[in-house]
Structure 1
Amino acid sequence: MYKFGVIGGGAAGISFAYNFIKNKSVNHCKRPLSLKVFDKQGFKGGMAYSSDFDSHILNMTPENMSADIFDDAHFVDWIAMHFPQFCQDRYPPRWLYREYLDFIRDMAIYMAADSNVTLNFVTAEVNAIATHEAGYRLTTACGGAEQMNALVLCSGHNPPECLYPVDGVIPYQANQDLPAINPYSAIGVIGCSLTAIDAIVELTERMGATDICALSRSGLFPSVQPALMRPPPAAFVEGLRRFVAGNDFIDAHQLVHAINAALARHYPGPERLTVLSALGEGRDCYRDLAESLDRARFAREHICSYLAAIHPTVCAAWVKMDANNRQVFMRFYNSSWMRNRHAMPLKNANKIVAALESQRLRACGGLVDIGKDKDGFTLRCQDERVRVQYLFNCTTPSYQLPPNRLSHQLLQDGLVQENLFGGVKCNPHTLKIADQRGHEQHLYSLGAPAKGDLFYTSAMESITRDISKIVFNNPIFNAKKAEV
């Protein structure tokens, strides 16, 4: 029997198990297999989907969130069958996706019972992996040991890493309860990402906060997703695809220049990829958000649609960049890419505008430094100093290896190499992880652990794409892609 282990039972781990079993079922492969999924939190949706707060909504529409690599409409159809009250909701609550993952897990168990795969879901933390003559030996925190022939690392996102090392800053996580704070005190929120939007919505609606200041280098919120995502002209997508395919090496500045030139030819709006911190210095946050909201409601074409259409091309370009150009892209252009590609839902944009208009929320750009004293925090921005009593860190999740015993042991034993840009070094085409000597193993990365070599790993559409790489391109499974 060939034994396969999955470490992490969030969206990536559950989806992998489901598609692995379904692929085996439709291909009628006779090789006996064992699949065991480990999750330390008991399969509660991972950090992304374990919030119970109704106003924590999905940041993507259901049609883009199928966990089934054979059926793009799987999530939409599941909503219609099990939660029809959300059929017309473009951005349902996040807990709904956790329910969907539970359904996916149950379906995997049901399919495994009628196949040659022995499937187990184990609530346990894996804290050690050692090489073994047949593959790997896992040790769990409770002392259990398992032998595996191959492993998939699906450890998920880490909490945001604060860029300002000051004691007392509260790391915000949507899946954790807010601490007991005075809602009438001045509250600071560091960051302008979708995580910051979650925090502001929760602070205003659940806690009744009346004095929130959002602080970041740009001072701008994400752009707003359009009411209807219309695809851009085919010439826009094809031109950039040819540019990347025609070069063995990609320069970050040249890539951004090519994207902006293509936008200038095909896109009627003013948005471009730029150095976001410089853009925000002279911009009014409220006016910028109001203009973005108007474009989302009424404009026929939207920057979000254009960038969404080329994200596979940008991922392909990332693979062709060296470390220096990846660093250039991340330092200068990634914030602008994230702001326009990962725009916030209309529902949340309306809430942010209402908070700004009621003066419960304001935004400050040019954040430089943070100081702390006995009465709270002083934040030095470009044009002013801001005093707050409580300060939440709401920057984007950290993609570095989680600072736990397992990561330390994997690095120390040379089983993995840490990637400067997130996770571990892996082959972007097969997702096989290279050891310290550069040899590829039967050890795979999926989701956040593959961030450094794949660029885009957080959305379900990217996770299902990467599951296909492992399942369909691997002789272990003796399977070809099924036509369903």
Structure 2
Amino acid sequence: MSAGRVVIVGGGASGTILAAHILRLPGRPLGVTIVEERPEIGRGVAYGTTEPGHILNTRAASMSAFQDDPDHFWKWLLASGFGLDVRCSDPFCFVPRAVYAHYLKALLDPWRGTPDDAAPLTIVQGRCVGVRQAGGGVAVELADGTSLLGQAAVLATGHDLADYNARGPYVNPWTTPVSSDLAAGDPVLILGTGLSMIDTVIELTDRGHRGRITALSRRGLLPRTHRRNVPMRIDAADVPFGTGIAYLLRWFRRTAEWAATEGGDWRDVVDGVRPHTARLWQSLSVAERERFLRHARTWWEVHRHRMPPESEERLRAAMARGRLEILAARFVGSDPAGDGVRVRFRRRGSRETETVDVAKVVDCTGILRGPDANRAGIVASLIEAGTARPDPCRIGIKVDESCAVIDGGGKPAARLFAVGPVTRAQFWEITAVPDIRVQCAALAGTIADRLGGESGPAHR
């Protein structure tokens, strides 16, 4: 018999940080198996890029994997030499995301083993296709027919992407280099004007593209920019829990105006409310959550998920040179046009349909809405099996406060949990490392408490 083992499905940021928290637990000999399709852990959707221009959207000072050691990433950055390589001399700096992938890998290096030994950590490359109860534990089933046994399993599948690869002039930037088969002067259209659009513009520029870029979204809003600021201290008693979205937005505006009179700005308010975001979301009715998603989500995201000053500088330069145009417009459709595509769109407030001919269309519209939209994914498989259920707003699966997955009958699982973006339906803001690390610390403790002194079968 071996010590209790936790099988984590997904080796991106969420899965890696959770594994580190479990392995660091004092006096609790829990082993971890990570199942990851990619050859390396830590290189999920967010940190799998190798483009040097793709930098973190959060300052280095806030990127520690451990809430109780807030300088952990910064100290690693200085000790590893990466800080010098990227000229990062200040914790406010924004380093390449590829550097953060190295940090995630380094978190687990002390515990690594192979699938055939008894090391605390085992990493298995494979695709998970199912999770089921097995005796007093769980069995995680892989596409190759292998079953990995453990006392608990955790879904850490991160952001679910559209189930398609690049085809013709249409590009999925998460799976295909946007500059592939693109001449330097070719025009490009980007769907979406958020952080992924900014990454795409920077990548194209760094790879020598000089053609015109048009980016459109319904409102044409760009992410705001990070500035040095101090989060406002906001007590729970001052937060309007349980009110409607309209009142909540008025409260934000009034509080931001007050902050400005005190020498601060809206960033202090948005960052100050962060500890209360999950409770705010949970206090909304389903109807109010839907109203937020329809009418206020974009407003929230451009203020909450900001871009680094360096990215803003590069974006403004591209716009000033006439290379980049941002449109508030609705995508109507597209048709083949020679070797490219003719895109039809309608500007905000206009009934007239316009067209633009481009060589490539890059889809930066964001993460899928609908946890089972990617039919090839494990989440869709679990929903189909009744092991999990989507939330009413269809932005994730239902979990309880302890992150236990709720099944089709409304019952929380005893040994199946979820962490990270897949739990956004319960916690909303659970996509950034400062939020994920808090969740991972709590879940690691929950799993250890529930498993107690259990031991279990070998993990394979």
- Cα deviation, 1:176-202, whole Å, max 9, x if unaligned, reads 464312231221111111001001111
CA contact (8 A) 1:49 1:175 kept: no
Q: Is 1:406 equivalent to 2:401 in the alignment?
A: no
Shift of 1:334: 1.0
Cα separation, partners in 2 of 1:140 and 1:462, compared to 1, 3 Å: same
Corresponding residue for residue 387 of structure 1:
356
Q: 1:105 aligns with which of 87, 104, 108?
A: 108
Corresponding residue for residue 457 of structure 2:
none
Corresponding residue for residue 257 of structure 1:
250
* Aligned partner letter, 2:237: R
Q: Secondary structure at the match of 1:146?
A: strand
Cα separation, partners in 2 of 1:142 and 1:380, compared to 1, 3 Å: same
CA distance in 1, matches of 2:156, 2:184: 37
TM-score, normalised via structure 1 length: 0.82
CA contact (8 A) 1:215 1:363 kept: yes
Q: 2:271 aligns with which of 308, 314, 320?
A: 308
Q: Secondary structure at the match of 1:72?
A: coil
Shift of 1:67: 0.9
Corresponding residue for residue 35 of structure 1:
32
CA contact (8 A) 2:64 2:434 kept: yes
Shift of 1:368: 4.6
Shift of 1:139: 1.5
CA distance in 2, matches of 1:64, 1:46: 19
Corresponding residue for residue 459 of structure 1:
432
CA distance in 1, matches of 2:185, 2:274: 42
Corresponding residue for residue 154 of structure 1:
156
Corresponding residue for residue 314 of structure 2:
351
Corresponding residue for residue 410 of structure 2:
438
Shift of 1:117: 7.2
Structure 1, 357-366 or 189-198: larger mean CA deviation: 357-366
Which structure shows the higher helix fraction?
1
Corresponding residue for residue 51 of structure 1:
49
Residues paired across the two proteins, number? 427
CA contact (8 A) 1:10 1:156 kept: yes
Corresponding residue for residue 191 of structure 1:
192
Structure 1, 401-410 or 341-350: larger mean CA deviation: 401-410
Shift of 1:399: 5.5
Cα separation, partners in 2 of 1:405 and 1:216, compared to 1, 3 Å: closer
CA distance in 1, matches of 2:369, 2:66: 25
- Cα deviation, 1:153-207, whole Å, max 9, x if unaligned, reads 0001123699xxx995322228746431223122111111100100111112214
Q: Secondary structure at the match of 2:330?
A: coil
CA distance in 2, matches of 1:28, 1:96: 32
TM-score, normalised via structure 2 length: 0.86
CA distance in 1, matches of 2:433, 2:95: 15
CA distance in 2, matches of 1:152, 1:66: 22
CA contact (8 A) 1:49 1:97 kept: yes
Cα separation, partners in 2 of 1:133 and 1:142, compared to 1, 3 Å: same
* Aligned partner letter, 2:199: D
- Cα deviation, 1:384-438, whole Å, max 9, x if unaligned, reads 72413221111222254343153333112210001234221001x2111111111
CA distance in 2, matches of 1:399, 1:63: 31
CA distance in 1, matches of 2:89, 2:334: 46
Identity of aligned residues (%): 20
Corresponding residue for residue 286 of structure 1:
none
Shift of 1:47: 1.2
Q: Where in structure 1 do 4 or more consecutive aligned residues deviate above 6 Å?
A: none
Q: Is 1:266 equivalent to 2:276 in the alignment?
A: no
Corresponding residue for residue 388 of structure 2:
416
CA contact (8 A) 2:196 2:364 kept: yes
Cα separation, partners in 2 of 1:268 and 1:364, compared to 1, 3 Å: farther
CA distance in 2, matches of 1:405, 1:222: 30
* Aligned partner letter, 1:144: T
Shift of 1:69: 3.7
- Cα deviation, 1:239-297, whole Å, max 9, x if unaligned, reads xx3244x75x342222222222222333359xxxxxxxxxxxxxxxxxxxxxxxxxxxx
CA distance in 2, matches of 1:352, 1:459: 23
Map 1:164-243; keep pairs closer than 5 Å: 168-173=169-174, 176=177, 178-226=179-227, 228-232=228-232, 234=233, 237-238=234-235, 241-243=236-238
Corresponding residue for residue 458 of structure 2:
none
* Aligned partner letter, 2:450: I
CA contact (8 A) 1:421 1:451 kept: no
CA distance in 2, matches of 1:435, 1:367: 37
Shift of 1:68: 2.3
CA contact (8 A) 2:112 2:120 kept: no
Corresponding residue for residue 94 of structure 1:
97
Shift of 1:129: 1.6
Unaligned runs of 5+ in 1: 111-115, 270-299, 480-484
Q: CA RMSD in A?
A: 2.5
